[in-house]
Structure 1
Amino acid sequence: MHKNWIQWFEIPVYQFDKARAFYEAVFQVELQVIDLGALTMAMFPPEIASGALCQGEWYHPSSDGVTLHVPVADIDLALQQVEQMGGHILQPKKQISTELGYMALIKDCEGNRLALRATY
């Protein structure tokens, strides 16, 4: 069995350009856009994540599904970007433990729920 069994994730979006700008600002990355006709993807850099934002008829943003926990270098900066880019902070930064660091729960600009994590 693989050490990390999550091989790929897809985050559904309706407003592709707005969502792409949100994720690029919050996570300080550049996403690669791929147009597959019925599906448009903005892929995260492979060295940091195996996944993409996806816009297509069968993708519907929701805060009711699985919550991805995503590492960030600076959780305070990321939270500032969340609000500036049209997202919402659901749970402010809190310490999980001295070993596990900090987390915050957010809703992205499309309505998806994510947890931000930092280990400093």
Structure 2
Amino acid sequence: MGQPVAFFEITSTAPEKIRAFYTELFGWSAEADPSMDGYAMVDTGAGPEAVGGGIGPSQAPGDTGVKIYVRVDDLEDRLSRAGELGADVLAPPMDLPEGYGRIAVVSDPDGNPVGLWA
């Protein structure tokens, strides 16, 4: 059985502009949360089984764009396997707030960021 896409993230140096673009284009709702440095959780309005996402400010040079997070059973195992397949670790494992699990970000062999979420 394959691993499902669990989350998407859109980061920008102009997060308000990008948030307005996506919410107006697709009818999503996304309110910036000041306690999360302006990060906005996205509700696509597609129901409880839909893949959720977030839109927020860039945290480092070159990190703007769209990335997916794939649900994995064992974060460290998948990080190791990604390395064997030519990935570099962009963000080491970190805990998400409020018990939402752990994430890490790798780059695929073409340099595209891919999030892993356990």
- Scaled by the length of structure 1, the TM-score of the pair is 0.46
- Greater fraction helix: 2
- Greater fraction strand: 2
- Scaled by the length of structure 2, the TM-score of the pair is 0.47
